[in-house]
Amino acid sequence: MSGMQRISPAVSLTGQVTSMIRAAIVSGEMKPNEHYSSVGIAEKLGVSRTPVREALQLLEKEGILTVEKNRGVRVTQISLNDIVEVFQIRLILEPPAAGRAVLNATPADIERLEELYVDLVKAAEGGQARPTLEADKAFHLYFLGLADNAKLGSIVGELRNLVLTHGQITIPHARTSMDLADDRNELMEAIRKHNAEGAVRAMHGHVLRTARMLVQSVCARTPGLEAECYLGRLNHLQI
């Protein structure tokens, strides 16, 4: 777990630990079905076991880790079926939320989204997956937060984490960092024009394209898996 850097105590120590463990899983340093001890993680991060235990409990609730008595914790292996079900839920929830978010957006909100969009493009120009995904997440969750439904934001955040934390990402397997940034252009145009219907279409298209790329990428790397049956379960949710 070399990517687990020692951290300094801060306001939300548990949050920092949670982010570090997520990063270790995304990078592949913590691998599915291998066991890790909370003591070992705490030593790597230079913190006590309490924030580590709290972080592990949070990640277990999200389905990312499994805590096993007397054996430590292990990263849960996510299946392609799980990925499809996550995106089915996202396709149902996020497009209508995008329409409402555009209607609720104030000039200050749009200005902030422009800033986050610029951050995304700058990260993408660097060509690195993780900064691009983090910038995209910040843009995405801020925008959906304008739908004025905290529970929706929490659910979407957990669904994204469930997939991303298991290393199931489209960059660089299916698209470049700039491809991801460019995929936000249609939504950004709808936001600028206060076009709710356009935002619904753009959000649906973005989520569906990401889902298709992930399914095809996983199947291409896994002998015996055929993409068509999984894609069919997504296609019937088209608008």
pLDDT digits (tens, 9 = 90+) for 167-219: 667 777 778 999 999 999 999 999 999 999 999 999 999 999 999 998 888 88
The owner of tokens 């298209």 is 205
Q: What is the pTM of this model?
A: 0.75
How many of the other CB atoms lie within 10 Å of CB of 121? 17
Bin 88: left if φ > 0, else alpha if -120 < ψ < 50, else beta. Answer: alpha
**Residue 223: burial class (beta carbons within 10 Å; 0-12, 13-18, 19+):** exposed
Amino acid at 200: V
- pLDDT in the model for residue 27: 67
Decide if 107 contacts 81 (C-beta within 8 A): no
- pLDDT in the model for residue 220: 82
Contacts of 142 (CB under 8 A, 6+ apart): 112, 113, 116
Q: Closest Cα partner for 83 from 171, 183, 7, 170?
A: 170
pLDDT 10s per residue in the chain (239 long)? 545 555 555 458 898 899 888 878 766 788 877 899 999 999 999 999 999 999 999 998 888 888 888 888 988 877 888 889 999 999 999 999 999 999 999 999 999 999 999 999 999 999 888 889 889 999 999 999 999 999 998 899 888 887 876 666 777 777 899 999 999 999 999 999 999 999 999 999 999 999 999 888 888 877 777 888 889 888 776 66
